[in-house]
Chains A and B, each alone.
Chain A
Amino acid sequence: MNFLSVGNPRRLLKLLIVVFTSLIIGLGLLTPANADTVGEEYDYAVLGNVKIEGVAVGGVRMVVEGSGYSAETLTSDDGSWLIGVPTKDVYSVTLDESTLPAGVVVLEGEPTQEVELGLSGRVVMNFFIGEGERNEVSFVDQFISRFIYGINFGLMLGLASVGLSLVFGTTGLSNFAHGEMVTFGAVAALVFGVFMQLPIWVAIPLAVIASAGMGWSLDAGLWKPLRKKGLGIVQLMIVSIGLSLTMRYIIQFFIGGGTEQLPGFDSPKISLFGAVALSSNDLYSMGISIAVIIGFAVWLIKTKTGKATRAISDNPDLAAASGIDVDKVIRIVWIVAAALAGLSGVLWAYFRPGIKWDMGTQILLLIFAAVTLGGLGTAFGALIGALIVGILVETSGMFIPSDLKYVGALVVLIGVLMFRPQGIMGRKQRIG
């Protein structure tokens, strides 16, 4: 099923990149003689190339208007067109959608767009076209679709956030290296699933186990000795920054600066209801997140270790005095936090999609935003905060440019600190 809805920004973006790249390549091969041209007597020109996924579309009507001048042409068989214009000015370019093949529309922006002639005297105007129904996805459908994406993103953000929150609660450390623990999980899945060619359902659990091992070794090798040494929390925080730099660049050292993909990253979409279509990856991801979060909640509420964890978060001295082995519990907290962060990294690698050495740094501030929003040190608060941040990030793309979608979440973070610094679930005495 080759249905492409606008309510699916990532897939759309991928297709657009393909279309756009093919347009650029097409332009490079274009010789002016092939182009269907009008107004060649003028010094300036607007030109372009109409292609759908690399296939040229001929006979599309293009209109250029502006400064009292108007001209139109049909694209030639190789999709190219050129319209000469008399002055260096702003013109509006229209692609007549009725002349496109059935079902093909301009996907991004309107079919009429403004161009300004630059220094070269020529300007390229290409439209992002493809099969789709630009106008048929209603605002509500788009919103619902993005809302569900937001829940998906929020759940994986939540997996990472509860870990950070637990670590903060039990040790007082704002762990800036938590983002790298997210990257580590994704990279471990890459190592097991791609480099070692294991089936993905083996590779992901192995990646989570490797992450847990990483959490264990970080606590055993670094954090526990530092606690024994009696470092202050600010010192520990700066150590975590050093650790974050170290881990980040070690990961770049091994996997390089490019983007890697896990197997099956572009699973087909399944249409659910209305215009909402999710891929099977999205559904698995949500299912895994929810199952793990429920398991985590049961662990935290019901088990002895979970209760001890919450006791230490409340009052470490009292917990130690009542016979809780604080170091042992903190060790478990690090293992759990790292495993959850690693899992969230794997899921996020499918969601983005792709694995990059600095992906953890990108998400770290959103994790902090989620944890602060929920209330520093409260595990369930972090979960709610993560859902809110996830939904906000995904839906805000409808109202603000998509490259600013993280800004919305960060502004909310600062806003929360202004009006309710203890967060949604936090208590006031924690803010100092």
Chain B
Amino acid sequence: MDWGTIINNTLAGLLTPTTIAFALAALGLAMHFGFAGLLNFGIAGFMAIGAYGYAISVLTFGLPWWLGMIIGVLGSIAFAVLLGVPTLRLRGDYLAIVTIAAAEIARLLFLTTAFTDVTGSADGLFGYNSAGGFSSANPFPPGSYGFGPWTYNSETLWVLTFGLGVLALCIWLLWALMRSPWGRVIKGIREDEDAVRALGKNVFAYKMQALIIGGVFGGLGGIVYAAFANVSPGVYVTSITFFIWTALLLGGAATIFGPVIGSVIFWVLQAFLSNILPELAINGILPVDGTQAATLRFVLVGIGLMLLVIYRPQGIFGDKREMTFVK
């Protein structure tokens, strides 16, 4: 067993563009579910629309990268409004079903061969980072940066810096919002919608605002991921939504840093398992073949999610009193 490589790869999982993208999406879910009590199972759709909005604006309409990213964000706002209007007046589990359905609609529309010219169909989109000037906006000269497991080339360093900047901004925004009067109304809606309504607040408008803000975080997650990897419809499946939920509940749904730390733990664990399970299989310690070993880590995610919700629904950092979904 090559423990050096395993530990190295595991530690590298601490800081990758994927981890940052996940943390942003989980932050959006914290806004939706943790603070506003909205059951959004379509965060993958928000990410997809952010990513495709950016890539399509650059590739099809020739816009610069920053304008493309803004359009990606506007796209996720539009998606939030589109979802919110029919469902925010209904009970929570309807929102869950509609959001998961809407995310699938978005994915199927990006996947269909009918719009291949624009969406690239199953191949997805690539080359937009250089076409839109995101790559040439890189302030770091080519070379190798960092040390040990955290060694990056200048492109990855640029994506990481950009992603961390966006993440820091979003964390600050969420923190500021949640200690403002607006945030208290939002938490009030989560606790008792009717009581807030009785105080004369427009519950629908507040929920819509929360849906939009969380949706923008999700869209930014998709954009950061797109700045690093190609945009591919196979990424934005419902499984990714559930993985982000796992990361969120791991850290603590109604906290600011919980979703971020949850995502980091999730990806470090994934990196560890994806390295150690095939090793164990090769060395005959686990009686399975390599592909099965890779599948096993997703089985563990599912079991982990169940145990988490049953035994520690508030997550690592959460406060059980803030978990109204725990009856």
B327 lies within 8 A of A242 (CB): no
Q: Mark A243-261, 1 if CB is under 8 A from B, else 0.
A: 1111111101100110000
A242 lies within 8 A of B98 (CB): no
Main secondary structure of the interface of B (DSSP, over half): helix
User: Cβ of A239: which chain B residues have Cβ within 8 Å of it?
Assistant: 305-306, 309-310
User: Cβ of A233: which chain B residues have Cβ within 8 Å of it?
Assistant: 93, 327
User: Cβ of A252: which chain B residues have Cβ within 8 Å of it?
Assistant: 295
From known contacts A245-B305, A246-B302, A372-B97, infer whether A401 and B87 are also in contact, taking CB-CB under 8 Å: no
User: Cβ of A237: which chain B residues have Cβ within 8 Å of it?
Assistant: 39, 93, 96
CA distance A237 to B249 in the complex (A): 13
Chain A contact residue count (CB 8 A cutoff): 45
CA distance A406 to B305 in the complex (A): 29
CA distance A368 to B299 in the complex (A): 24
A369 lies within 8 A of B112 (CB): no
Among B103-111, B138-146, B171-179, B260-268, which stretch is in contact with chain A? B103-111
CA distance A244 to B303 in the complex (A): 10
User: Cβ of A242: which chain B residues have Cβ within 8 Å of it?
Assistant: 242, 246, 302-309
B94: which of A234, A369, A406, A431 is its contact (CB, 8 Å)?
A431
From known contacts A232-B326, A233-B93, A432-B91, infer whether A403 and B108 are also in contact, taking CB-CB under 8 Å: yes
B298 lies within 8 A of A421 (CB): no
From known contacts A237-B96, A241-B242, A411-B105, infer whether A249 and B306 are also in contact, taking CB-CB under 8 Å: no
Flag whether B56 is at the interface (Cβ < 8 A): no
CA distance A250 to B292 in the complex (A): 9
- Chain A residue nearest to B303 (CB atoms) is A246
User: Cβ of A407: which chain B residues have Cβ within 8 Å of it?
Assistant: 105, 108-109
User: Cβ of B100: which chain A residues have Cβ within 8 Å of it?
Assistant: 365, 368
From known contacts A232-B327, A418-B86, infer whether A410 and B105 are also in contact, taking CB-CB under 8 Å: yes
B326: which of A235, A246, A256 is its contact (CB, 8 Å)?
A235
Q: Which of A210-249 contact B (CB under 8 A)?
A: 226, 229-235, 237-239, 241-249
- Chain A residue nearest to B242 (CB atoms) is A241
Flag whether A413 is at the interface (Cβ < 8 A): yes
User: Cβ of A235: which chain B residues have Cβ within 8 Å of it?
Assistant: 309-310, 313, 325-327
A174: which of B86, B97, B249 is its contact (CB, 8 Å)?
B97
Size category of the binding interface on chain B? 35 or more
CA distance A241 to B39 in the complex (A): 13
Main secondary structure of the interface of A (DSSP, over half): helix
Flag whether A90 is at the interface (Cβ < 8 A): no
A231 lies within 8 A of B327 (CB): yes
A401 lies within 8 A of B112 (CB): yes
In the complex, the number of residue pairs spanning A and B with C-beta atoms less than 8 Å apart equals 135
Flag whether A404 is at the interface (Cβ < 8 A): yes
Q: Shortest beta-carbon distance, B299 to chain A, in Å?
A: 4
A243: which of B97, B302, B326, B327 is its contact (CB, 8 Å)?
B302
- Chain A residue nearest to B100 (CB atoms) is A365
A253 lies within 8 A of B299 (CB): yes
From known contacts A232-B326, A237-B96, infer whether A414 and B91 are also in contact, taking CB-CB under 8 Å: no
CA distance A392 to B325 in the complex (A): 36
Q: Which of A373-428 contact B (CB under 8 A)?
A: 401, 403-404, 406-407, 410-411, 413-414, 417-418, 421
A414 lies within 8 A of B101 (CB): yes
A249 lies within 8 A of B91 (CB): no
CA distance A229 to B295 in the complex (A): 31
CA distance A365 to B97 in the complex (A): 8
User: Cβ of B78: which chain A residues have Cβ within 8 Å of it?
Assistant: none
Flag whether A361 is at the interface (Cβ < 8 A): yes
Q: Which of A1-47 contact B (CB under 8 A)?
A: none
| 14 A-B contacts (beta carbon < 8 Å) | A174-B96, A233-B327, A237-B39, A242-B305, A243-B302, A245-B242, A249-B298, A368-B101, A403-B113, A410-B105, A413-B97, A414-B98, A417-B94, A432-B91
Contacts A246-B306, A414-B102 given; 17 further ones with Cβ under 8 A? A229-B310, A232-B325, A233-B327, A234-B39, A234-B92, A234-B325, A239-B306, A239-B309, A242-B242, A242-B246, A242-B309, A245-B302, A246-B302, A401-B113, A406-B104, A410-B101, A417-B94
- B interface residue numbers (CB < 8 A to A): 39, 85-87, 90-94, 96-98, 100-102, 104-105, 108-109, 111-114, 238-239, 242, 245-246, 249, 288, 291-292, 295-296, 298-299, 301-310, 313, 325-327
Q: 6 smallest A-B Cβ distances: which pairs? A: A246-B302, A245-B302, A432-B91, A232-B327, A242-B305, A242-B306
